[in-house]
Amino acid sequence: MRILVTNDDGINAPGLVVLEEIAAQFSDDVWVCAPAEEQSGAGHSLTLTKPVRLRKHGEKRYSVSGTPTDSVMMALRTVMPGPPDLVLSGVNRGANLGDDITYSGTVSAAIEGALAGIRSIALSQVYSREGMGDDVPFGAAREWGAKAIAPLLGVPLPERTLININFPPVHANEVKGIRVVRQGFHDYGRGTVVEGRDPRGYRYYWFGLDAIEHTLDHGTDLEAIAEGYVSVTPLQLDLTHYSSLGALAERYE
């Protein structure tokens, strides 16, 4: 089995090494192609207005001066000798739950894999910023990664679907298990915009995604993580809201 490992935190991110170690439990043919710089929040963007550069860091290890989507595209079309059997994206530094998904470069790299017809899985380590600073403990992901991935390798996945996995912000031995759950929603509508002045006195704005008080709907990824479980969510790329088709069509008659 040939595996492509990518992420949105960049080629030097600690979570990438964690995912390489997880991938090595399944195959010795693991290729890494990841953005040269952090691309969190890049979503599914593709670089079209400037060239991208490919850099080789070692055998089967490359970076791309672009987005996660650019990295997967480069890996599939230029870097790898043939298509991988599996795309793994992550392990992201921070959650990709609920409505994080469409902002997420991590999930979008897996989306790009799914579009290419390859089994694709996004993995993220949720962490609590309070008291942790920049240090994200990847213990839960490290310990539970292979357990979460293994059952997905044999299961038939319909076209244009992918899997989103999140690991809870607890020590590996405190993880309660794995739950298959739907995508929740956590309303970033009131996300913060911090205003400040740069060293030359000019105003700037900086977006933040504050933790928002919300009720955790039953059976969602958010609830599973809050209760200490690994969440596994199948996603589909068809965003059509089917039950609205009829009513909307009537408005145009």
Among 6, 8, 10, 163, binds Mn ion (CB under 5 A): 8
Q: Which residues contact 4 (CB under 8 A, 6 or more apart)?
A: 31, 32, 33, 72, 75, 76, 80, 84, 86, 87, 88, 113, 118
Sign of the dihedral through C-alpha 93, 154, 101, 167: negative
Count of other CB atoms within 10 angstroms of residue 226: 16
112 scored as a contact of Mn ion (CB under 5 A): no
100 scored as a contact of Mn ion (CB under 5 A): no
| Closest to Mn ion by CB, 136 or 148 | 136
Minimum CB–partner distance for residue 76 and Mn ion (Å)? 21
Which residue carries 């691309």 as its tokens? 39
Part in contact with Mn ion (CB under 5 A); list of ranges 56-64, 65-73, 88-96, 239-247 = 88-96
92 scored as a contact of Mn ion (CB under 5 A): yes
Taking CA atoms, 52 is separated from 13, 31, 36, 39, 41, in Å, by 20, 19, 10, 14, 19
Burial readout 154-185 (b: 16 or more C-beta within 10 A, e: otherwise): eeeeeeeebbbbbbbbbeeeebeebbebbbbe
| Closest to Mn ion by CB, 1 or 132 | 132
Part in contact with Mn ion (CB under 5 A); list of ranges 37-45, 83-91, 146-154, 157-165 = 37-45
Count of other CB atoms within 10 angstroms of residue 26: 17
| Closest to Mn ion by CB, 117 or 207 | 207
Minimum CB–partner distance for residue 9 and Mn ion (Å)? 4
Among 5, 6, 23, 40, binds Mn ion (CB under 5 A): 40
Part in contact with Mn ion (CB under 5 A); list of ranges 39-47, 154-162, 215-223, 234-242 = 39-47
Between residue 195 and residue 234, which ones bind Mn ion under the rule CB under 5 A? none
> Binding residues for Mn ion, per CB under 5 A?
8-9, 40, 92
